[in-house]
Chain A
């Protein structure tokens, strides 16, 4: 354990933070002292942090600590699920584009270059404008937003793997093309995809927080970190604790996934141009 993490401080800090938040999300009902939505008590609204409410209470008298703990469920499930969708879309399109080439490759590359020229947040906003606000719609919007990078990486990896000996061998053995693509090539190119996916989770969490902050994402009373900050500008000056803790939670989670992604890149992808990044 110690030997593995030595000189891999990114990986260590990143995985510790991520693991911590995942445990917090899973065991939220056991950890949280109050219910995030139902335990509203206007008698104790906007209480500063004290012994009973460690992080204080919001304008409706709900415990901020409990809401931050439950908020991890929303942020993490959005980050993990939407990035999984993106990764699957990216892998399928990218691997087939690199493997088949020709017009299919041109089509997919054209599509990714269009997707890459639309800023992710703007695309997500457009999908939210179509579907309307709400948690389920956030999943759909973010699930469709961020696959282009994965697709590009999968394609370039397949292009360089296509002529390697093990693929030629698989062809000679008469494996069908789907088996060569997804059973032979895919496991060999998963490293870089895993790295970009980990960084994608961080990005998805940030975009969800931004959408909810704008009031177009997860709707109240759901305890979403971004949503908890939507009145922050007005409240910060009178009740700083309402916005400081959800902000720290977003920051730490995103930081955790970013460090984890960097650490994984150092381990899995040592030839990357960005290998020296800390």
Chain B
């Protein structure tokens, strides 16, 4: 188990390396355009000023040299300097990471707390109106665009009945967190409900469930001890894999709700062509995703002792 954990953590390094490679070349392949765009567009571009900016930002060097400099900085936690603000990217990101993590984890909690029981009940009451209704809800939840759901929630809960604030972080006030995490978590909730239902229906046909019933266990014990534990693996896989699209969607939800996290920073940095910041945001988002998947992988072994890692 410890060896496996260590191996998984070591696998991180090449993955991160290749991701930075792809992202760096993707974002830096156009030479000098950032400096060109940073100078005042209304006047004729001043070549001297552009050259000076390029020198300052290190854009005058060839791309592979810049990548090596970037990697060297990355190893020491230095992500470069923002083009527009004279700050270190790591400092800018550090201020933004907490709201994003709060938003993401609030969404997961909502999604799991609602989605898991919903899927479970649907499977046990298969074919009844509860099942039909919750599965209609689930497929709708997957199909609804988060930003549109967010607008609807905003309209009903903060304009019509004025329970929650429309947008903003509100210095960490929990009321501000409710609507963004609902719009972010709805699709995830729907996915968890569907997967849970499918997994439970699958497990219910298995021999050990029949054995448990035939030895006279109560329906409640069969469901809670045997069925639930065995469905967790499949559900956990979904939670881990789909977390990527959740953390990706923070971009939209944060922008909609003016949430001061990594996602809205990413969009703003793309508007402003502040490439070091864009790079930093993407790296942090992917890191969060990878870490969550690592935790999920390690949790498998805790939930299901049959899984042995070589």
Contacts and interface: CB of A to CB of B under 8 A. Distances in A.
Interface of A: 110, 113-114, 116-122, 125-130, 202, 206, 209-210, 213-216, 226, 229, 232-233, 236-237, 240, 243, 247, 250-251, 254-255, 258-259, 262, 273-278
Nearest to A240: B155
B248 A121 contact: yes
A197 B144 CA distance: 19
Contacts, number: 147
13 contacts: A114-B15, A119-B244, A121-B245, A122-B248, A130-B27, A233-B154, A236-B151, A254-B142, A255-B140, A259-B139, A273-B198, A274-B198, A278-B139
A114 B26 CA distance: 14
A151 to B, nearest CB: 15
A246 to B, nearest CB: 8
A278 B15 CA distance: 36
Nearest to B204: A276
Given A113-B15, A243-B151, A129 B198 contact: no
A251 B148 contact: yes
A226 B139 CA distance: 20
B145 A206 contact: yes
Contacts of A276: 123, 197-198, 201-202
B286 A117 contact: yes
A186 to B, nearest CB: 26
Contacts of B145: 206, 209-210, 213, 226, 247, 250-251, 254
Interface string B244-257: 11011101100110
Tell me whether chain B's interface is mostly helix, strand or loop, or mixed.
Answer: helix
A233 B148 CA distance: 9
Interface in B104-140: 123, 131-132, 135, 139-140
A9 to B, nearest CB: 10
Interface stretch (B16-24, B41-49, B64-72, B171-179): B16-24
A175 to B, nearest CB: 36
Nearest to B146: A210
Interface of B: 15, 18-19, 22-23, 26-27, 29-30, 123, 131-132, 135, 139-140, 142-148, 151-152, 154-155, 159, 167, 194-195, 197-199, 201-202, 234, 241, 244-245, 247-249, 251-252, 255-256, 266-267, 270-271, 273, 275, 278, 282, 285-286, 289-290, 293
A122 B282 contact: yes
A252 B300 CA distance: 37
B266 A125 contact: yes
B245 A120 contact: yes
Contacts of B251: 121-122, 125, 210, 214
